[in-house]
Structure 1
C-alpha cells in the first residue's frame, strides 16, 4: 500500500513537472523566439489555402506556398498601411482641432457659470451693500483671467498628451530583422508542414497521439468559431457606427470608425470609451442635438451587441458564463488587458484538453490504472 502511494506521488510529480516544463518552454519560446512562434501559427492558418492551390491548380508545394505567403504579406501590409494612414490623419485632426474645441467648451462653461453666478452676486450685493463698481469690474476681470488660464492649461495638457501619443507611435519597436525572419520562417514552416507533422507524430507516444489528435481539430474549430463570432460583432458595430456618424454629419467618419472598431476588440471597454466622453463634451459645449444623436447611436450599438453576443458565443465556448467571467477577471489581475484578451483562449484550450480525454489519461497514469 505504501509503495502504491509512493508510485502515485511519483507519477503526480512527473505530470506536474511535464506541465511546468510545457508552460516554461512556451513562455521562453515567446520571449526569445516570438517571430518563429508567430510564423508557426500563421503557417498553420495558411495550410488550407496552400492545399487548395495544390489540389485545384496542380501547383508544386513550394510554388503554392510562395504564392500564398506573398499574398498574405501584401494583404497585411495594405491593411496596416490603411490603419496607419487613418491613425495619422486622426491624430493630426485631434492635434489641430481639439485645442480650439476645448477652449470653446471652457468659454461656454464659464459663460454659463457667469450667468448663474451674476444673479447671486446681485443678491449678495443687495444684501450686503458693500460691492461697488470697482469691485464688480475687478470680479469680472478675475473671472476672465481664470477663464484664460484654464483654457491655456487644458489646451497645453491635451497638446502634450497628443504629442506623447505621436511620439509613442513613432517609436514603436518595429524590428525589420524580426519581420524578415518571421516571413522566411512562415515560408519554410508552410512548405515543410507535412514533414513537421511527421516528426511530431514519430516522437509522440501512440496513446497520447490518439488522445491528442482530437485537440488541434477541436481547438481550431472552437477558436475559428469564436473569431468568426467576434468578427461578426465588430463588423456589425463598425457598420452601425459608420452609418450613425454619417447621418450625424461628423467629420473624419472613416478615421473615427476605424478607431472605434479597434477599441471594440478590448473586452469590457468597447466603444463606450469613445462615445460617452464625446457625448458629455457635446452636452457641456451646448451641442444638444449631437449629444442626443451620439447617445442614441451608442444605445443602439450596445443593445445590438447584447442581443447578438450570447447567441454567437454560446455555441462556441461551451463553458458556463461564470467560469468565463472568472477567467476574464483572473487574466486581468495577472496580465492586465492582455490577460483579458488571452483568457478566453486559455479557457478554450483547457476545455479542449478535458473533452479530448487527456485529463482522464493523466488521472489514470497517476492512479496506476494505465501503464
Structure 2
C-alpha cells in the first residue's frame, strides 16, 4: 500500500519535472502571469473591500502599479549594480594588495600552528590566487551580463506587458477557470492539487517575504558598517538566502575569518553580530508564519537542493525542495485515502 502511494507521488513529480524542463520555456509568460495573479489577488480583494471598486477596475489598478513598481526596481538595481561592478573592476589593484597582505598573514599563522613546509605554503597561496582570478572574471562576466540586460530591456518590457495582459484575464475569469478545472478533473485529484497548490503558494510567499527582509537587513547593516559595494554584496547574500540551512553564511563566515586573519577583529565581530541578528529575525518570522515552512528533514532538503541544482541550475534550489514536498504530500494524501476507504 505504502509502496504504491510512493510510486504514484514519484511518477507525478517526474511528469511535473518533464513539463517544467521542456515545456515551461514555451509557456513562461503564462507561468509568470499565474505568479503575478497570485501576488496581486490579496491587493485586489483589499481594493474591492475597502474602496468598493469593481473587480475589473481593481485588477487594472493593481496591474498598473505592479508594472510601475517592477520597472522602477529593475532600473534602480541595474543602475546601481552596474556602478558598483565598474567600481570593483577599477579597484582590482587594491584587491591584489589586500590578498597579498592576507596571504602573508595566513602563511605566518599556518607556519606557527601547523608547521607546514614552504612548498605547502606556496601551493596554498597559488590556489588562493586562482580563486581571486576566478572572482575577478566573475565580476567581469557580471558587468557583461548587466550590459546584456540593459540591451534586453525592450524584450523584458514586451515580456512583462504580455504576462500582465495574461494575468488580467486569469484574475478576471478566476472563478470560471477554477470551475472548468473542477468539472474536468476527478474529485480526489482536484482536492490533492488544491491542497498542494495552497501549500506551495504559502511557502513561496513566506520565503519571498523572508528573503526580501533578509536582503534589506543585510544591505542596511552593510551601509551602517560602511562596507564598500553594500548593495551588490547585500543582494547576493539575499539570493543565497534561498538555500536552506546554508544561506548567507557562505558570505559572512569566510569574510569574518578573513577579517580576523587580517587583524580587523572589530569588523569581524560586527559581521558576526549582523549575521546573528539576521538569523534571529528569520527564525522569529518563520515561527510566526510556521505554515509556510518546509516540513522536511534537513537531509532531505539538502539532497533535493543538490538534485535540483543538477537539473535546473540555480533555480533548482527552489524547485528541488518543492518537488520533495509534493512527493511527501501526495504520499500522505494517498495513505489517508486508503485508510478512509478501509
TM-score scaled by length of structure 1: 0.65
Q: Does 1:168 align with 2:142?
A: no
Counterpart of 1:32 (choices 26, 29, 38) is 26
SS of corresponding position for 1:48: helix
Aligned to 1:178: 159
Cα shift at 1:63 = 1.9
Cα shift at 1:166 = 0.6
Once the two structures are overlaid, the 10-residue window that deviates more, 337-346 or 282-291, is: 282-291
Aligned to 1:201: 182
Counterpart of 1:271 (choices 226, 248, 272) is 248
Q: Does 1:94 align with 2:88?
A: yes
Counterpart of 1:65 (choices 54, 59, 66) is 59
Are the equivalent residues in 2 in contact too, given 1:282–1:291 (CA < 8 A)? Answer: yes
RMSD: 4.5
Aligned to 1:139: none
Are the equivalent residues in 1 in contact too, given 2:63–2:168 (CA < 8 A)? Answer: yes
Aligned to 1:106: 100
Are the equivalent residues in 1 in contact too, given 2:102–2:258 (CA < 8 A)? Answer: no
Number of equivalenced pairs: 315
The 1-side partners of 2:244 and 2:8 are apart by 37
Aligned to 1:250: 227
| Deviation per residue, 1:133-152 (Å, 9 max, x gap) | xxxxxxxxxxxxxxxxxxx9
Structure 2 alignment gaps of length 5 or more: 1-6, 112-128
Counterpart of 1:345 (choices 297, 304, 322) is 322
| Deviation per residue, 1:266-291 (Å, 9 max, x gap) | 34542233334433543455544434
The 1-side partners of 2:221 and 2:52 are apart by 48
Aligned to 2:41: 47
Are the equivalent residues in 1 in contact too, given 2:48–2:55 (CA < 8 A)? Answer: yes
Structure 1 alignment gaps of length 5 or more: 1-12, 118-151
| Deviation per residue, 1:25-53 (Å, 9 max, x gap) | 55544121110121123224423333443
Structure 1's 74 and 311: CA in aligned 2 closer, same or farther, altered over 3 A? same
| Deviation per residue, 1:189-231 (Å, 9 max, x gap) | 2222222223223323xxx236624643x34553354345535
Cα shift at 1:67 = 0.9
SS of corresponding position for 2:25: helix
Aligned to 2:168: 187
TM-score scaled by length of structure 2: 0.69
The 2-side partners of 1:108 and 1:58 are apart by 63
Q: Does 1:83 align with 2:77?
A: yes
Cα shift at 1:69 = 1.0
Cα shift at 1:347 = 3.0
The 2-side partners of 1:292 and 1:200 are apart by 55
The 1-side partners of 2:106 and 2:328 are apart by 58
